[in-house]
């Protein structure tokens, strides 16, 4: 099978379609003119499709070098897709460890916020914030850095809390409270680092379910006299 069939000039002006360079690698051109490198290969009898990136950001020569690396892995029985996935997971784990060591995970910043509130609010309020974070938020995103947390992830978290029930009522108030507290975490990080300006919670709270406050029953004005007379009656019976 012939290889290295493509030329840089052709790649620059290639029409829509798949244009093969050989050994499974080809330049995919979309109807909109976007160009991407792809490669098909088989590992242990299973067909794999790999992506090397867009052209011309990834040049023809660079794509061929990636093909060479993939072929070397396949010869050794290594799945290049699984290896790439593992390498990405390792990078994320390493990045998170650096964030943890720097003290910049969501949980670490939230705990510093909790400490900073000492003497500025009641202990019950301060500790309630931390406890609710420990129950609902830290298990989901506590290990992540703030830039790593996506807005849709926060929205799903808070809506998930809102959909829970407590004594038969939806926890919409707690969901909004958690969002407000989380906004304080982002603001506190800005206090620590003026260059940090991200705070998706300020927008998210506008799209959370509204809290339906259930007020206690009240006495209408024209029934007030009857109510007072009834109280007097009970009081007089009690005195006897």
pLDDT tens profile 131-142: 999 999 999 999
Cα→Cα distances 151→91, 178, 193, Å: 22, 14, 21
Q: What is the pLDDT of residues 208-217, one digit of tens each?
A: 998 765 555 6
Rg over alpha carbons for the chain, rounded to the nearest Å, is: 31
The yes-or-no verdict on residue 175 having pLDDT over 90 is: yes
The HSE-up count of residue 19 (CA atoms within 13 Å, CB side) is 21
The yes-or-no verdict on residue 85 having pLDDT over 70 is: yes
CB atoms within 10 A of CB 74: 17
Mean per-residue pLDDT, 183-201: 96
Mean per-residue pLDDT, 161-173: 91
Q: What is the mean pLDDT of the chain?
A: 90
Between residues 231 and 51, the one the model is more confident about: 51
Chain length of the chain = 240
DSSP state of 217: P
The yes-or-no verdict on residue 222 having pLDDT over 80 is: no
The yes-or-no verdict on residue 53 having pLDDT over 70 is: yes
Residue 212 burial by Cβ neighbours in a 10 Å radius (0-12, 13-18, 19+): exposed
The pLDDT confidence band at residue 91, using thresholds 50, 70 and 90, is confident
Q: Please tell me the pTM assigned to this model.
A: 0.60
Q: What are phi and psi of 117, to 5 degrees?
A: -85, -5
The pLDDT confidence band at residue 89, using thresholds 50, 70 and 90, is confident
Angle, helices 172-192/123-132, rounded to nearest 10 degrees: 100
Identify the pLDDT of residue 73.
92
Q: Is the dihedral of CA 94, 96, 100, 102 positive or negative?
A: positive
Identify the pLDDT of residue 238.
55
Using alpha carbons only, give the angle 189, 195, 200 rounded to the nearest 5 degrees.
55
Mean per-residue pLDDT, 17-30: 96
How far is Cα 126 from Cα 116, in angstroms, rounded to an integer?
A: 10
How far is Cα 12 from Cα 25, in angstroms, rounded to an integer?
A: 17
Between residues 227 and 169, the one the model is more confident about: 169
Identify the pLDDT of residue 142.
96
How far is Cα 189 from Cα 195, in angstroms, rounded to an integer?
A: 9
Identify the pLDDT of residue 214.
58
Q: What are phi and psi of 56, to 5 degrees?
A: -95, 5
Which of these, 66, 45, 47, 44, lies nearest to 55 by C-alpha position?
A: 66
Between residues 59 and 92, the one the model is more confident about: 59
The yes-or-no verdict on residue 70 having pLDDT over 60 is: yes
Identify the pLDDT of residue 92.
84
């Amino acid at each position: 099978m012939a290889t290295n069939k493509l030329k840089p000039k052709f790649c620059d002006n290639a029409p829509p379609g798949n244009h093969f360079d050989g050994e499974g690698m080809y330049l995919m051109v979309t109807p909109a003119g976007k160009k991407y490198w792809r490669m098909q290969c088989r590992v242990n009898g299973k067909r794999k499709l790999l992506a090397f990136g867009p052209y011309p950001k990834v040049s023809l020569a660079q794509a061929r070098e990636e093909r060479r690396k993939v072929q070397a892995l396949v010869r050794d029985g290594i799945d290049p897709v699984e290896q790439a996935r593992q390498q990405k997971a390792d990078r994320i784990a390493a990045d998170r460890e650096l964030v943890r060591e720097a003290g910049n995970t969501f949980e670490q910043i939230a705990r510093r916020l909790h400490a900073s509130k000492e003497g500025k609010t009641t202990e019950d309020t301060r500790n309630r914030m931390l406890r609710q974070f420990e129950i609902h938020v830290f298990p989901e995103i506590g290990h992540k850095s703030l830039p790593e947390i996506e807005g849709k992830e926060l929205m799903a978290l808070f809506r998930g809390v809102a959909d829970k029930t407590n004594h038969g009522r939806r926890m919409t108030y707690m969901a909004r409270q958690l969002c407000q507290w989380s906004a304080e975490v982002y603001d506190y990080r800005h206090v620590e680092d003026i260059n940090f300006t991200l705070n998706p919670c300020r927008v998210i709270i506008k799209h959370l379910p509204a809290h339906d406050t259930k007020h206690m029953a009240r006495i209408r004005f024209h029934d007030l006299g009857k109510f007072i007379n009834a109280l007097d009656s009970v009081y007089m019976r009690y005195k006897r």
